[in-house]
């Protein structure tokens, strides 16, 4: 679907938020841990392609920022 705008353009989100959304949308049933997604922190750099721009101690705050942006822009609360 190359004729579709990127997730960044479609939703007006940052590059890292787009990567997170792409990862979430690409999860298969076998990837889930029961009813939960895999632990984002474990997948962040290797599978999602996101590197926290802040000190690692601030990773939870960065993820919260990305998820807030995702929820605000995509209407998925």
* Domain-wise residue ranges, the chain: 7-74
Separation between Cα atoms, residue 77 and residue 58, nearest integer Å: 23
Residues facing residue 36 across a β-bridge: 33
Instruction: Decide: helix, strand or coil at residue 55.
Output: coil
pLDDT band at 2 (very low <50, low <70, confident <90, very high): low
Q: Counting Cβ atoms within 10 Å, is residue 67 exposed (0-12), middle (13-18) or buried (19+)?
A: middle
Longest dimension (CA), the chain: 39
Task: Give just the sign of the alpha carbon dihedral 25, 14, 16, 75.
Answer: negative
Which tens digits make up the pLDDT trace of 21-68? 999 999 999 988 888 888 888 899 899 999 999 998 999 999 999 999
pTM, two decimals, is: 0.84
């Amino acid at each position: 679907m190359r004729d579709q705008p990127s997730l960044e353009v479609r939703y007006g989100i940052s590059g890292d938020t787009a990567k997170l959304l792409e990862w979430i949308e690409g999860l298969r049933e076998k990837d889930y841990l029961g009813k939960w997604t895999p632990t984002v922190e474990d997948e962040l750099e290797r599978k999602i392609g996101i590197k926290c721009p802040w000190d690692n101690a601030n990773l939870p705050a960065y993820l919260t920022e990305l998820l807030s942006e995702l929820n605000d822009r995509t209407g998925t609360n």
